[in-house]
C-alpha cells in the first residue's frame, strides 16, 4: 500500500485548494512545497509594485461562501501583500499547514506498473510512494535566467523580481537599472521611479499596457457579496474567467460596428481600465482589422502620455498584435519616462553586450549602476514540470514533450498514469483569471479521484487517441487566432531552445468547461481506468 493516497506538489492557490478538497473527502494527502511558506507566486514575487491585474472580487476562491463573505478586499486590484495575507488566512482557516512539507523540492517521480504507484523523490533525499500525484507546480514558477555575459562580474547589488528580499530593498537615491519591460518590469519601474536617484530601463520589446484605474472598492465589494454565487456562475462561463464588469454579455463583433462605435467602445474600455480592453471586440484576436484598430488606439493613448516623441515611439509596440502577448496593466508607467532622471535604452537599437563590474554595456556605451534589477520572465507552463525527472519505464515526460506538450485536456498525459496537472499546458490557464481555472481543475480532478475510489480503480490515464485529438484541437484553435504571430512566452519564445508551440487552450474558459463537464458526464470519455 502506498504511503499516501495523493501527493500534491506546490502550496500556491492550486495546491492549497487541492489539499482542502481531498482531505475533506478522506484522501490521505501530503503537499510538498519548495518554499518556506504558502502562497506560490504571491510568496515569491515580492518586488515593489507587485499587484494582481485581475479584479479582486474575481481573483479569489469561490468554494466557500463564508470565506467569500468574511474576506474584505480593499482595492480593485489587490497588491501582493494583501493577496499573500489572504492565502495565509486560507491556510490557517482550513488548517492546511499540518499536511504541507515546506522547504522541500520534488526532484523525481517514477511510476511502477506493478503497484500502480509513484515513487516521489525530494531534494532532501526522501523517497515515498503515492497512488496519485497532482502537480500544482504553477505556470509561472520557474524563472528564466538569461545568460548575460559577465553578470557575475557586476560589483553592485543584483535582484531578480521573482526572488525579492522579504525585508525589502532601500533604493533611495541609487542609480538603478531595470532589465525587462513585461508585467513585473513595468510594475517595478513604476513603483521605484519616485525614490531612485536615476533609473535606466533596458527594453527589448515594448508592452501594451492599459491603465489600471485602481481604487478602493467598498461599494462594489458589498454589491458583489450580495449575490456572489450567481456572480461566480457567470464568470465560469466567460472566455477569460472574469466578467470585466460586463456580466454575461459577449463583446460585439468588430465588423458589426460602425466607425464611431468602434472608437467609443475602445475609449470606454480604455477609460474603464484593465485587461478587459482586450475584450473590446469578440474577434480582437481573430480578425487582423479588429486587432489593428485596438492596437492603434492603444498606441495613440500611450504616445499621448510621453512628452518626448522619440521616447514615446520607442515605448510604442508595433511588432506584434495587441493581446497576442500578455498585456500589462499600469499605474503611471509611461509617465515615468517624463522624469529627467529616467532613461530608456532600446535594445533593438543598442543591443546589450555585457555586464561589467560597474554596470551594463549596450550599444557600445557603458552605463554605471549601484543596483541592477532583472525582470526577465518565466519558463512558462512546462518549466516546473520539466524541472522534475518524471519517469515511466524508460521514458521521461521531458522526452515525450520535447516537441511541445502532449496532454488530454491539459490535465493528464498518456503513458504517465495517475499524474495530474493543475492549469497544465493545453488548458485555458494563463489566458484566464487563474483562480477560475484553478478551481475548475481541482474540482474536476477531485471528482475523478472519487469516481475511481468508488469503483475500486487504482489507475487512470488518457487514451493516446484522445490525447492526439486534444493536441490537434489545441493547435487548431491557436492557429485560428493571432496568438502565434507574437514571439511570446505563450509560444515558449522567451526560452532559448524551447520548442515554439502555443501552450494554452485558446477557446476560453467557458468552452473548456463545457468540454470538460461533458467528458466527465460521459463516464470520463477518453480515459482508461483500471
Ligand atoms: P504557483 O502560485 O506558482 O505555486 C506553485 C508552487 O509550487 C510554488 O510555491 C513553487 O515553489 C512550488 N513548486 C514548483 N515546483 C516544485 C517542486 N518541484 N517541488 C516542490 N514545490 C514546487 N494570474 C492571474 O490570474 N492574474 C494575475 O494578475 C496574475 N499576476 C501574476 C503576476 C506574477 C508576477 C506572476 C509570476 C504570476 C501571476 N499570475 C496571475 C499567475 C499566477 O501564477 C496564478 O494566478 C496563481 O497564483 C497560480 O497559483 P498556482 O498554485 O497554480 O501556482
Residue 129 has pLDDT above 90, yes or no: yes
| Neighbouring-strand partners of residue 299 | none
* Residue 278 pLDDT level (bands cut at 50, 70, 90): very high
Residue 105 has pLDDT above 90, yes or no: yes
Q: In testing the pocket of ligand 1, which one of 16, 39, 40 has its CB within 8 Å of the most ligand atoms?
A: 40
Q: In testing the pocket of ligand 1, which one of 9, 41, 190, 383 has its CB within 8 Å of the most ligand atoms?
A: 41
Angle at 269 (CA atoms; ends 246, 305), nearest 5 degrees = 155
Taking the CA of residue 164 as centre, how many other CA atoms within 13 Å lie in the half-sphere pointing to its CB? 26
- CA dihedral defined by 227, 230, 231, 236, rounded to 10 degrees? 160
- 234 burial class (0-12, 13-18, 19+ CB within 10 angstroms)? middle
* Residue 74 pLDDT level (bands cut at 50, 70, 90): very high
CATH class given for the domain over 4-143+379-529: alpha beta
| Cell, residue 515 | 468540454
Residue 244 has pLDDT above 90, yes or no: no
Q: Are 238 and 508 in contact (CB under 8 A)?
A: yes
345-381: per-residue pLDDT in tens?
Answer: 999 999 999 999 999 999 999 999 999 999 999 999 9
448-481: per-residue pLDDT in tens?
Answer: 999 999 999 999 999 999 999 999 999 999 999 9
Angle at 172 (CA atoms; ends 169, 174), nearest 5 degrees = 95
Grid cell 494582481 in the structure block, residue: 52
Average pLDDT over residues 91-103: 98
H/E element, 527: strand 527-529
Angle at 487 (CA atoms; ends 484, 488), nearest 5 degrees = 90
H helices of 241-323, in order, are 259-272, 288-303, 309-315
User: What's the 464 CA to ligand 1 centre distance in angstroms?
Assistant: 29
- The pLDDT assigned to 145 comes to 87
Average pLDDT over residues 395-424: 98
312-335: per-residue pLDDT in tens?
Answer: 999 999 999 999 999 999 999 999
Ranges of each domain in the chain: 4-143+379-529, 183-374
Average pLDDT over residues 419-432: 97
Task: Round to whole Å and give the CA distance between 481 and 131.
Answer: 39
| Neighbouring-strand partners of residue 121 | 108, 127
Task: Round to whole Å and give the CA distance between 380 and 489.
Answer: 6
Dihedral sign, CA of 62, 48, 203, 162?
negative
41-52: per-residue pLDDT in tens?
Answer: 999 999 999 999
The residue whose CA has the least distance to atom 2 of ligand 1 is: 40
Task: Round to whole Å and give the CA distance between 500 and 508.
Answer: 21
- 205 Cβ neighbours under 8 A, 6+ residues apart: 181, 317, 319, 320, 325, 487
Please tell me the pTM assigned to this model. 0.98
Q: In testing the pocket of ligand 1, which one of 43, 137, 184, 431 has its CB within 8 Å of the most ligand atoms?
A: 137
The residue whose CA has the least distance to atom 48 of ligand 1 is: 138
480-529: per-residue pLDDT in tens?
Answer: 999 999 999 999 999 999 999 999 999 999 999 999 999 999 999 999 99
- The pLDDT assigned to 245 comes to 84
Task: Round to whole Å and give the CA distance between 44 and 465.
Answer: 39
* Total Cβ atoms within 10 A of residue 62: 18
| Neighbouring-strand partners of residue 216 | 75
- The pLDDT assigned to 88 comes to 98
Task: Round to whole Å and give the CA distance between 427 and 444.
Answer: 13
Nearest atom in ligand 1 to 14's CA: 51
Backbone φ and ψ for 290, nearest 5 degrees, come out as -60, -45
pLDDT, the chain, mean: 97
Residues with CB under 6 A from ligand 1: 9-15, 32-35, 40-41, 45, 52-54, 59, 105-106, 136-141, 184, 384, 388, 422-423, 433-434, 438
| Cell, residue 330 | 499600469
ipTM for the predicted complex comes to 0.99
Nearest atom in ligand 1 to 53's CA: 28
- 409 Cβ neighbours under 8 A, 6+ residues apart: 426, 427, 470, 512, 515, 516, 519
With both helix axes pointing from N to C terminus, report the angle between 509-521 and 228-236 in degrees, rounded to the nearest 10. Answer: 90
Grid cell 501583500 in the structure block, residue: 81
Dihedral sign, CA of 236, 241, 242, 244?
negative
Q: Are 12 and 40 in contact (CB under 8 A)?
A: yes
Amino acid at each position: 500500500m502506498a504511503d499516501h493516497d495523493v501527493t500534491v506538489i506546490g502550496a500556491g492557490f492550486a495546491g492549497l485548494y487541492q489539499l482542502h478538497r481531498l482531505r475533506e473527502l478522506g484522501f490521505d494527502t501530503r503537499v510538498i512545497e519548495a518554499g518556506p511558506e504558502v502562497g506560490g507566486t504571491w510568496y515569491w514575487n515580492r518586488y515593489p509594485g507587485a499587484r494582481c491585474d485581475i479584479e479582486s472580487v474575481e481573483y479569489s476562491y469561490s468554494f466557500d461562501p463564508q470565506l467569500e463573505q468574511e474576506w474584505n478586499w480593499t482595492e480593485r486590484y489587490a497588491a501582493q501583500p494583501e493577496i499573500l495575507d489572504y492565502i495565509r488566512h486560507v491556510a490557517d482557516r482550513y488548517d492546511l499547514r499540518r499536511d504541507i512539507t515546506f522547504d522541500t523540492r520534488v526532484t523525481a517521480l517514477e511510476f511502477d506498473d506493478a503497484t500502480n504507484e509513484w515513487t516521489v523523490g525530494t531534494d532532501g533525499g526522501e523517497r515515498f510512494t503515492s497512488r496519485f500525484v497532482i502537480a500544482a507546480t504553477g505556470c509561472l514558477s520557474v524563472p528564466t535566467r538569461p545568460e548575460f555575459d559577465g553578470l557575475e562580474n557586476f560589483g553592485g547589488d543584483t535582484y531578480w523580481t521573482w526572488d525579492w528580499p522579504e525585508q525589502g530593498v532601500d533604493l533611495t537615491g541609487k542609480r538603478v537599472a531595470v532589465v525587462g519591460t513585461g508585467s513585473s518590469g513595468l510594475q517595478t519601474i513604476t513603483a521605484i521611479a519616485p525614490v531612485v536617484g536615476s533609473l535606466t530601463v533596458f527594453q527589448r520589446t515594448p508592452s501594451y499596457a492599459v491603465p489600471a484605474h485602481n481604487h478602493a472598492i467598498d461599494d462594489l465589494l458589498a454589491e458583489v457579496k450580495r449575490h456572489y454565487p450567481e456572480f461566480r456562475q457567470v464568470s465560469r462561463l466567460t472566455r477569460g474567467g472574469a466578467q470585466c464588469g460586463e456580466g454575461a454579455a459577449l463583446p460585439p463583433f468588430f465588423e458589426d460596428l460602425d466607425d464611431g462605435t468602434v472608437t467609443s467602445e475602445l475609449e470606454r474600455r480604455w477609460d474603464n481600465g484593465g485587461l478587459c480592453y482586450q475584450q473590446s471586440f469578440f474577434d480582437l484576436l481573430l480578425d487582423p482589422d479588429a486587432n489593428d484598430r485596438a492596437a492603434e488606439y492603444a498606441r495613440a493613448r500611450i504616445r499621448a502620455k510621453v512628452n518626448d516623441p522619440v521616447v514615446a515611439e520607442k515605448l510604442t509596440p508595433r511588432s506584434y498584435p495587441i493581446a497576442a502577448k500578455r498585456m500589462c496593466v499600469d499605474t503611471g508607467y509611461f509617465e515615468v519616462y517624463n522624469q529627467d532622471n529616467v532613461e530608456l535604452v532600446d535594445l533593438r537599437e543598442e543591443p546589450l553586450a555585457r555586464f561589467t563590474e560597474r554596470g551594463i554595456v549596450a550599444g557600445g556605451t557603458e552605463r554605471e549602476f549601484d543596483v541592477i534589477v532583472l525582470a526577465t520572465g518565466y519558463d512558462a507552463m512546462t518549466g516546473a514540470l520539466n524541472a522534475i525527472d518524471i519517469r515511466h519505464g524508460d521514458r521521461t515526460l521531458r522526452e515525450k514533450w520535447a516537441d511541445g506538450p502532449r496532454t488530454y485536456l491539459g490535465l493528464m498525459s498518456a503513458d504517465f498514469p495517475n499524474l495530474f496537472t493543475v492549469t497544465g499546458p493545453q488548458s485555458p490557464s494563463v489566458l484566464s483569471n487563474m483562480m477560475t481555472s484553478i478551481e475548475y481543475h481541482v474540482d474536476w480532478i477531485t471528482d475523478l479521484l472519487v469516481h475511481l475510489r468508488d469503483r475500486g480503480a487504482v489507475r487512470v490515464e488518457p487514451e493516446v487517441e484522445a490525447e492526439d485529438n486534444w493536441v490537434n484541437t489545441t493547435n487548431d484553435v491557436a492557429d485560428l487566432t493571432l496568438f502565434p504571430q507574437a514571439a511570446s512566452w505563450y509560444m515558449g519564445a522567451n526560452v532559448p531552445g524551447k520548442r515554439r508551440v502555443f501552450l494554452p487552450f485558446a477557446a476560453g474558459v467557458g468552452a473548456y468547461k463545457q468540454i470538460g463537464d461533458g467528458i466527465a458526464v460521459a463516464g470520463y470519455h477518453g480515459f482508461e481506468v483500471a
